[in-house]
Amino acid sequence: MRSTLLALAAVTLTPFSLEAHDGLLAQNAVAPPDTASVTQNVKMGGGTHQFKSVAGWCEIPTSAGAVLGATHGGIVVDKAGLIYFSTDTDRSIMVYSPEGKYLRSFDPKFSGCHGLAIHETNGEQFIYAAHLKGGQVVKFNLDGTPVLTIPYPAESGKYTKAGEYKVTGVAVGPNGDIYAADGYGKKWIHRYSADGKYVSSFGGPDPDLKNPTKELLSNPHGISLDTRGPQPLLLVADREKSRLVHFDLEGKFVAVVIENLRRPCSMSIRNGEVAIAELQGRVTILDKDNKEVAHLGDNPNKKEWANFKVPTTDWKDGIFTAPHGIGYDAAGNLFVMDWNQSGRVSKLQKL
């Protein structure tokens, strides 16, 4: 995927049929034996949802050494096409050009941000981060300056101490209301006003996943604003129930959107379609009717699914191990982050 790592990863791959993974013949039906050539040739998807992995896209900062560093976060793209993704390193949120050049990073104290959202208010764009490591939600200017922090919601009455709050996702409503998903903690979604004042909580943990209650959540891992319908809704990745669900902006359960996914972590929405990062080795695209229309990078090796420790020498471009963050740009290209100890972010060019 990256030129720096490619030099380190002189590995011979067992030839495999790309058609078997994604239902679409690659430019070469059998992968050539060197990693660089695989990068240049892998296509995925089908029909009007075809993509190609971009060779050497993610430049590694000189200060980072040979690897990017652990990626356990989210991805957003601003109106200028700059890509922002969060890491567990001192580079916290990293900023890249569309061509994959590393530009800068945010303050190291914001290492460990998880889900990200981007929202425009009065012509200015802001990035919102679920700062898992810090137990808070942070709103940033695009230059990385924090302008608002929201600590754990003591007012909710759901917690006995701050450490129980483990925020994983954030979304912003049309009026600026902020929604924080406590996916790794108590499983509630908390609503705040645009200036960070607590409003309400909804969702909550399902006590029996063998006999699940549809309104309750197993792990609200990711959350996005969904404006595809007649009214805006919150789209929630309920990871351990392997589904997406809708809530309205007041927190009322609306419907199950889709089930039987592979541990969905996060979503990105563009032109009526939803791209879903599934931790078990795949990206799925839904159409405007929430029907599955493409699977991208489907990994046939189940041992690599949701595996944080897959080494760089085992990576195959166009094949994912543990998709965690995902983001569309304006042209319909996709950026996908694998949950990985060395750090892996791929660009998929829309064809």
pLDDT in tens, 112-139: 999 999 999 999 999 999 999 999 999 9
Residue 25 lies in a domain: no
On whether the CB atoms of residues 351 and 42 are closer than 8 A, the answer is no
C-alpha triplet 216, 291, 179: angle, nearest 5°: 40
For the cut 80, the answer to whether the pLDDT of residue 71 exceeds it is yes
Residue 108, Ramachandran bin (φ over 0: left; ψ between -120 and 50: alpha; else beta): alpha
| pLDDT > 90 fraction of the chain, expressed in percent and rounded | 83
- Residues 54-62: what's their mean pLDDT? 89
Structurally, the chain folds into a number of domains equal to 1
Residue 197 lies in a domain: yes
* pLDDT in the model for residue 185: 98
Residue 42 lies in a domain: no
* pLDDT in the model for residue 56: 83
* pLDDT in the model for residue 16: 29
Residue 18 lies in a domain: no
Q: What is the mean pLDDT of the chain?
A: 89
Q: Convert the pLDDT of each residue in 286-323 to its tens digit.
A: 999 999 999 999 999 999 999 999 999 999 888 999 99
- Phi/psi for 225 (5° steps) reads -80, 125
In one-letter notation, the amino acid at residue 155 is E
- Residues 58-74: what's their mean pLDDT? 90
Residue 127 lies in a domain: yes
* pLDDT in the model for residue 41: 64
* pLDDT in the model for residue 92: 97
* pLDDT in the model for residue 63: 82
- Residues 27-32: what's their mean pLDDT? 31
CB-based contacts of 212: which residues, under 8 Å, 6+ apart? 206, 218, 241
Q: Which domain holds residue 101?
A: 63-346
Q: Convert the pLDDT of each residue in 184-229 to its tens digit.
A: 999 999 999 999 999 999 999 999 988 999 999 999 999 999 999 9
| pLDDT > 70 fraction of the chain, expressed in percent and rounded | 88
H or E segment to which residue 138 belongs: strand 136-141
- Residues 83-89: what's their mean pLDDT? 97
- Higher-pLDDT residue of 212 and 37 is 212
Q: How far apart are the first and last CA of the chain?
A: 18
* pLDDT in the model for residue 66: 83
- DSSP line for 60-104: PPGGGTTS---B-S-EEE-TT--EEEE-SSTT-EEEE-TT--EEE
The CATH number of residue 273's host domain is 2.120.10.30
CB-based contacts of 287: which residues, under 8 Å, 6+ apart? 272, 273, 293
pLDDT confidence band for 325 (50 / 70 / 90):
very high
Residue 46 lies in a domain: no
Q: Convert the pLDDT of each residue in 176-185 to its tens digit.
A: 999 999 999 9
Residue 218 lies in a domain: yes
Residue 92, Ramachandran bin (φ over 0: left; ψ between -120 and 50: alpha; else beta): left
* pLDDT in the model for residue 32: 32
Question: Among 8-22, 39-53, 108-122, whose mean pLDDT is lowest?
Answer: 8-22
Residue 154 lies in a domain: yes
pLDDT confidence band for 7 (50 / 70 / 90):
very low
Q: What is residue 154's three-state secondary structure?
A: helix
Question: d(Cα 226, Cα 269) in Å, to the nearest integer?
Answer: 7
**Which residue carries 């903690």 as its tokens?**
185
The CB density around residue 176, as the number of other CB atoms within 10 Å, is 15
Buried b (16+ CB within 10 A) or exposed e, 241-269: bbbbbbbebebebeeebbeebbbbbbbbb
Question: d(Cα 151, Cα 174) in Å, to the nearest integer?
Answer: 22
pLDDT confidence band for 26 (50 / 70 / 90):
very low
Q: Convert the pLDDT of each residue in 224-274 to its tens digit.
A: 999 999 999 999 999 999 999 999 999 999 999 999 999 999 999 999 999
